[in-house]
């Protein structure tokens, strides 16, 4: 039982499966992969994925996990305020929520499709459909409170 206590538990960012990773495997320099879907498991951080108009359907609407999508632009001051919070949530909620970022200047079709009129806008998807949205620069607890409803 002590061997399992020493193992690191890592949630897969793609399918949500909890994987037990023995420390000796990490010391050998092996990169852990999910036992179910074979996705590479990140040990320390899990940065948000970048989605585009072309990949949105597969990455967001096809995700088995709830998805938080940050719609942003480089010139947007409030977007830069929300970005570190989104990055933190991506790492903290890895395996429970998938976090994605979409640059609206480079990908105008998706914001238009969802009627996004101002940024930053955070869209929350579950089972392939938008279930909620947060508009404007809001605090981390406010975002977490909204997300908890869909976990």
Dihedral (CA of 55, 143, 124, 14) sign: positive
The average pLDDT across 28-53 equals 83
Q: Which of 12, 15, 37, 79 is catalytic?
A: 79
The average pLDDT across 94-100 equals 91
Dihedral (CA of 139, 72, 76, 74) sign: positive
- Of 17, 18, 134, give the one whose Cα is nearest residue 85: 134
Domains of the chain: 1-44 (2.30.30.380), 49-148 (3.40.30.10)
Q: Which of 12, 34, 37, 76 is catalytic?
A: 76
34 assigned to active site: no
- Of 72, 106, 70, 108, give the one whose Cα is nearest residue 89: 70
* pTM score: 0.73
12 assigned to active site: no
State residue 44's pLDDT score.
55
**pLDDT tens string 105-151:** 999 999 999 999 999 999 999 999 999 999 999 999 999 999 999 98
């Amino acid at each position: 039982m002590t061997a399992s206590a020493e193992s690191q538990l890592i949630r897969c960012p793609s399918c949500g499966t909890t994987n037990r990773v023995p420390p000796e495997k990490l010391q050998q320099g092996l990169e852990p992969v999910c036992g179910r879907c074979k996705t590479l498991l990140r040990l320390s951080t899990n940065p948000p994925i970048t989605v585009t108009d072309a990949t949105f359907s597969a990455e967001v609407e096809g995700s088995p996990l709830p998805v938080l999508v940050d719609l942003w632009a480089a010139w947007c001051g409030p977007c830069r305020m929300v970005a570190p919070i989104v990055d933190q949530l991506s790492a903290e909620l890895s395996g429970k929520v998938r976090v994605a970022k979409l640059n609206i200047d480079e990908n105008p079709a998706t914001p238009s499709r969802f009627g996004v009129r101002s940024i930053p806008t955070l869209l929350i998807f579950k089972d392939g459909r938008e279930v909620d949205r947060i508009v404007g620069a809001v605090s981390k607890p406010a975002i977490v409170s909204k997300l908890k409803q869909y976990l």
